[in-house]
Structure 1
Amino acid sequence: MKLYALCDQELLDSKGVSVEEFVKTATSLGAKVIQYRNKTSDTTFIKQQLIQIRKLYDGFLIVNDKYELVEFCDGVHVGQEDLKSIDSDVSKAVKILRSVIKKDKLLGISTHNEHEIIEANSMDLNYIGLGAYRDTSTKKDISGVLGDKVEELAKVSVHPVAVIGGVKLEDQFENISYKVIGSGLLR
């Protein structure tokens, strides 16, 4: 199972950690993917952060939501609500995104239940995020914690699965390709 490091700007700011420090920690732990998430800053700042991470990290770099910045990274991750802001039909939203970011970039979406996973199975994706595994302080809008159900739900997906939400470094899974850790890297 590979480490997928979630670099959340709000979390970094609250802990007084720089992007450089986060990337150094993620790299030392063998992170194969870093996703940069920033829900509050303008596009120019996010672009600068992506450029800075790229200078420090040669693994896969994913941006959260800001598909217009895909040229500065290797792909995009989008949540369900953000997909619906593109189109109320999430399948159409993924088709629109794929037409923008092209086949040479990664595309992942968040899923939270079996229905969303089955829906994602017919989409042109590289992976799905599945969770939340357990409660987390970095996401206030978690509708349900899946706990051990993530293992069974992961079997339903035709795409590689990244388990999200409250995942710890020591957590082990059998049916999961990536464990996504954010705040757990900052201890």
Structure 2
Amino acid sequence: MKMLQFITNPSDRYSLLEEAQMAIEGGCRWIQLRMKDATDDEVRQVALELIPLCKENDTFLIIDDRVELVNELKVSGVHLGKDDMDPLEARELLGPHAIIGVTANTAEDIIRFKGKDVDYVGLGPVHFTTTKKKLAPELGYEGVKSVMDSIRAAGVELPVVAIGGIKKEDIKPLKEAGVNGVAVSGSIIGAQNPVEYTAQLLQLLQK
């Protein structure tokens, strides 16, 4: 299991570009640009800074929610929340090669995506997190394991990326729960050395 997605989040310490640079320097090759309260123009401006950085480092760049911007800028793909565009509609617009990720909080959510041509599911929140508003109930390790067992029993083989307040110490139990990867934001940004912290996360994921 090697999937590590870094999600940008506004902070007092770094610009979003600096956050992505540090995650990439630490070995992460999958960045999600998330700017929930920003305008399309603001997102476009940051995306245009990130695109060359990601290209130089063979890094996937996906944008949260803004399907039209993803199509315009030709980045790697989009992450769709529960209230965003239907993934089938996004697939029609973005074509067969785009990465399309979706958000889920329950096994039922994920089972509904079976056969819907999505590439991965973000399952959470594992723990409480301050980086996301309108949080669903926390799952914890047992909740994640229960969801994973249910979806695999239902024949759903979609890659599942755990999300929500994830730190280094969560990697081992989440791997044991059966997830395929993790999406991390706050613990990388808040680390004393974000580059080193990212590298440590990847090391734990690859064990």
TM > 0.5 fold call = yes
Provide the residue aligned with 1:179 in structure 2: 182
**Is 1:45 aligned to 2:48, yes or no?**
no
How far has the Cα of 1:26 moved from its partner? 0.5
Structure 1 residues 67 and 50, CA, compared in 2 at 3 Å: closer, same or farther? same
Q: Describe the superposition over 1:11-38 as per-residue Cα deviations: whole angstroms up to 9, x where unpaired.
A: 23xx231123202220122212100011
Q: Aligned partners of 1:32 and 1:163: how far apart in 2?
A: 17
**Is 1:130 aligned to 2:123, yes or no?**
yes
Provide the residue aligned with 1:150 in structure 2: 144
Name the SS for the 1:54 alignment partner.
helix
TM-score (norm. length: structure 2): 0.78
Gaps of 5+ in 1: 84-92
Provide the residue aligned with 1:86 in structure 2: none
The residue type equivalent to 2:148 in the other structure is A
Q: Aligned partners of 1:139 and 1:40: how far apart in 2?
A: 11
Provide the residue aligned with 1:112 in structure 2: 105
Q: Aligned partners of 1:177 and 1:51: how far apart in 2?
A: 29
Q: Aligned partners of 2:133 and 2:108: how far apart in 1?
A: 22
Q: Aligned partners of 1:121 and 1:147: how far apart in 2?
A: 24
Alignment check: 8 A CA contact 1:3 1:30 kept: no
Name the SS for the 1:185 alignment partner.
helix
TM-score (norm. length: structure 1): 0.86
Name the SS for the 1:120 alignment partner.
coil
1:164-175 aligned within 5 A: 164-172=163-171, 173-174=174-175, 175=178
Q: What is the aligned length?
A: 174
Gaps of 5+ in 2: 191-207
Aligned identity (percent) is 28
Q: Aligned partners of 2:170 and 2:29: how far apart in 1?
A: 17
